[in-house]
Amino acid sequence: MSKPKPKIKKEAVPMSKQDPKKRRRNFNEVAQGYTKEQVVAEAERCLQCAKAPCVKGCPVEVDIPAFIDLIREHKFGEAIKKIKEKNSLPAICGRVCPQEVQCQVYCTMGKVGDPISVGRLERFVADWERKQQPEIPQRPASTGKSVAIVGAGPAGLTAAADLAKLGHEIVVFEALHKPGGVLIYGIPEFRLPKEIVEAEAKYIERLGVKMKMNSLIGRLYTVGELLEQFDAIFIGTGAGLPRFMRIPGENRCGIYSANEFLIRVNLMKAYAFPKSDTPIYVGEKVAVVGGGNTAMDSARCALRLGAKEVRIVYRRSKKEMPVRAEEIENAEEEGIIFEFLTNPRKFIGNERGWVKAMECIRMRLGEPDASGRRRPIPIEGSEFTMDVDTVIIAIGRTPNPIIQQTTEDLQVTKWGTIIADENGKTSIERVYAGGDIVTGEATVISAMGAGKKAAKAIRKYLKKN
Ligand code: FAD
């Protein structure tokens, strides 16, 4: 008689985290990752469904059951190779992808218990490989064709990696001094250590991609000038421009845009002061206006920089927050205070021009708006004053505009995003675009998916011409 199969555990293997009391004052990574035993135990929960429904939730189409099966067999090196066939940034995706609304939504195990923790498994094998020395796939002979990639965010880096693997000459032009886009300047160290972004960008360089930093396209070269030097162009310039509230008092001292705040904390390393010489001022009572990843990251950075009380002021309810569920839980554990259904109306300053309070109003939710979320409606007469000495505005980002302003014939929407078809083709022959610059602010993996689709379309075009 064959041995009965062990019962599959309904609960996911938990991942350990830094103690909230300690981590609220340091920038070390919160989530600690699985051990070897834990990763295998979690992989053993996977049902290996023949139709692999999880794969349809992955914009870059990683063969999820196949890499999980390899983990089950302790073949970590082969598992990471399997992932890298489709995804060149696995340690990043394993940390910041909102799997609960992507691959894990379709997981069969999710119908009877916890879905398989796909991101945690991916993160383990990517970290395991980084400690060894990533293997570089052999490059095919040069095709003699060249592609310029504008912007080194997840969209641009993915397009660059995929095209380099085909033997094309790839040059990435990036405005900042480091590659990574939001991964390097926006998402804080405690969620995504920068050494990981640097290592994954290095891997892409080792595929043969040339990185030209401090190169602002639209100023250094126009798109027209790049078209004279390259066979095709991919634009992945993201949505890095802050949106403001346009209410009285918004220009008072002590009020930051989340973009400025996060760039100074992360890219300019204010968090490492006094080791770095670029500090940032944060008061005792901080309000962060907004409810997305940017708001949450700003709030948790402000807490770590010494604020006594940090409030997230959001005009909708917790259910509508466009943020990874895990990060809401982490923020709550750290003591971030949530003021839901609340919106500022004006900022009140002291005699020296510094913000000292916010006049707010309570909201209720009405019918869904164009975004599908219920529209917040002010409750007249519910105004109140909230004492604050620092405010961070995190209500969204709009597309970076320089390329659009300097490229004749490039069609854009009224919001400034570049118009491109489902393969990234724009209104200009040989020019492709993808990521936040096309969709408006979205996610790392959707930007990577767009970079991948455009790379496929560029490959097809270069084959024919
Ligand atoms: P970006 O990442 O914005 O990269 C664009 C790059 O282009 C930048 O490096 C920029 O400097 C460069 N550039 C711009 N203009 C030019 C030019 N003219 N010439 C040369 N270079 C140029 N998503 C998730 O999935 N999970 C998360 O947890 C998450 N957290 C986030 C936290 C924050 C604080 C923010 C701001 C966003 C977060 N997101 C998250 C969203 C995600 O980071 C973005 O959707 C993603 O980075 C978009 O990728 P991209 O390549 O299109 O653009």
CB of 208 shorter than 6 A to ligand 1? no
The candidate with the shortest Cα–Cα distance to 454, out of 140, 87, 58, 160, is: 160
Closest residue by CA, ligand 1 atom 12: 151
User: What is the tens place of the pLDDT at every residue in 370-425?
Assistant: 878 889 999 999 999 999 999 999 999 999 899 999 999 999 999 999 999 999 99
- Tell which phi-psi region holds residue 373, choosing left (phi > 0), alpha (psi between -120 and 50) or beta: beta
CB of 443 shorter than 6 A to ligand 1? yes
Closest residue by CA, ligand 1 atom 14: 237
Match 């398989």 to its residue by tokens. Answer: 116
Closest ligand 1 atom, residue 188 Cα:
34
Long-range contacts of 105-113 (CB under 8 A, 24+ apart): 105/57, 106/53, 106/54, 106/56, 106/57, 107/53, 107/54, 108/47, 108/49, 108/53, 109/8, 109/10, 109/45, 109/46, 109/47, 112/10, 113/9, 113/10, 113/11, 113/12
7 Cα–ligand 1 center, Å: 43
pTM of the model: 0.95
Q: Looking at residues 311-335, what average pLDDT do you find?
A: 93
CB of 186 shorter than 6 A to ligand 1? yes
CB of 188 shorter than 6 A to ligand 1? no
124 Cα–ligand 1 center, Å: 24
314 Cα–ligand 1 center, Å: 23
CB of 344 shorter than 6 A to ligand 1? no
Residue 2 has pLDDT above 70, yes or no: no
Residue 288 has pLDDT above 80, yes or no: yes
| 46-55, 215-224, 234-243, 318-327, range with the lowest pLDDT | 318-327
Is there a cis peptide before residue 274, judged by omega within 30 degrees of 0? yes
183 Cα–ligand 1 center, Å: 7
User: What is the tens place of the pLDDT at every residue in 30-88?
Assistant: 999 999 999 999 999 999 999 999 999 999 999 999 999 999 999 999 999 999 999 99
User: What is the tens place of the pLDDT at every residue in 133-150?
Assistant: 777 878 889 999 999 999
Q: With cut-offs at 50, 70 and 90, classify the pLDDT of residue 232.
A: very high
Let me know: does 247 contact 344? Beta carbons within 8 Å: yes
- Radius of gyration (Cα) for the chain, nearest Å? 23
Phi, psi of 280 (to 5 degrees): -135, 145
pLDDT of residue 5: 65
148 Cα–ligand 1 center, Å: 18
Query: How far is the C-alpha of 159 from the C-alpha of 136, rounded, in Å?
Result: 17
